[in-house]
Structure 1
Amino acid sequence: MFDITEQAIDSALLRQSLLNNEQCGAYASFEGWVRRQNEGRRVDYLIYSTYPELALKQGAAVIAAAKRQFAIEEAVCVHRYGRLEIGDMAVWVGVTAGHRDAAFAACRFIIDTVKAEVPIWKQEFYSDGEPAGWLANPEGLPPTQP
């Protein structure tokens, strides 16, 4: 399952949704948070923008690819959009598998691929008063509209 939301991510609830298979002996997760500094600049907050229909479609494809490529049972990824404050969770990935190697590898694959392929863009707002900057997606292009 892949989802995008403006609401705070409840990692405990998501984790619990994965723990229902007695065949699984491993669980791995990743949490990405909004940090105060980026490339030497103080960040006040950021805004994630997305193309929802395409993001949901491409995110689901990433999860499906992880299930094909790795010996995992389930995988979930949820990404925030909208305004996020310092310390907010921006993205969560959880994976269950029979063994830890597959769970770790799939978790890494999912977060790396979501960041590279799913249309979600980040705009940072800095404390120094400089204009906000878009962090480029893999093609190097920001969205046409925030």
Structure 2
Amino acid sequence: MNERTSIKITQETLNLQDCYHFVEDDSCGGIAVFVGTVRNSTQNKTVTLLDFSGYEPMAIKEMQKIATKALEKYDIYKIAIHHALGKLKIGDVPVIITVSSAHRKAAFEACEFAIDTLKETVPIWKKEHFTDGEVWVNSHP
């Protein structure tokens, strides 16, 4: 973590207030927040839980790259990207991204960039568990 980014991977419950407080500043008129939650169904199947695993050292580096790129590309002040690993139940939070900026548009754009890029490049894998089996959603480890 540097003074403008907060990157975290944990087996513990993520805390939205920690992410929010990290990015808030009197110079910022906008804070964009993305909170990913475990939903109860996908593709007409009932989801019972999600199991996230990852290669943590590489994932941290990739998440830091995303944060650094967002700071360079958008006129933002701070960014926090936190991701949970392990078994998460319906309603649990696997990912939180918060971004602050003087104006809302930059915060929204950087937040969208961060979650889209995270899903494409960060080595965190998701296994969906259903009432009738399980499947890796993306390439498995």
TM-score by length of 1: 0.90
- The alpha-carbon deviation at position 109 of structure 1 amounts to 0.4
AA matched with 2:17: A
Q: Structure 2: 5+ residue runs without aligned partners?
A: 1-5
- The alpha-carbon deviation at position 13 of structure 1 amounts to 2.3
Which of 118, 121, 136 matches 2:125? 121
Cα distance between partner residues in 1 of 2:22 and 2:72: 21
Cα distance between partner residues in 1 of 2:52 and 2:34: 18
- The alpha-carbon deviation at position 62 of structure 1 amounts to 0.3
Aligned: 1:11 with 2:16: yes
**Deviations for 1:40-62, whole angstroms, at most 9, x for unmatched residues?**
11010110010000000000000
* Number of the residue aligned with 1:67: 71
- Equivalent positions of 1:89-108 (< 5 A) are 89-108=93-112
* Number of the residue aligned with 2:7: 2
- The alpha-carbon deviation at position 22 of structure 1 amounts to 2.0
Cα distance between partner residues in 2 of 1:100 and 1:76: 16
* Number of the residue aligned with 1:37: 41
- The alpha-carbon deviation at position 3 of structure 1 amounts to 1.2
* Number of the residue aligned with 1:135: 137
**Deviations for 1:78-102, whole angstroms, at most 9, x for unmatched residues?**
0111110010011000000010010
Aligned: 1:77 with 2:75: no
- The alpha-carbon deviation at position 12 of structure 1 amounts to 1.4
Could you say what secondary structure the match of 1:116 adopts?
helix
AA matched with 1:77: I
TM-score by length of 2: 0.93
Aligned: 1:111 with 2:109: no
AA matched with 1:3: K
Could you say what secondary structure the match of 2:65 adopts?
helix
Could you say what secondary structure the match of 1:72 adopts?
coil
Identity of aligned residues (%): 33
- The alpha-carbon deviation at position 142 of structure 1 amounts to 1.3
Q: Structure 1: 5+ residue runs without aligned partners?
A: none
Quote the RMSD (CA, aligned, Å). 0.8
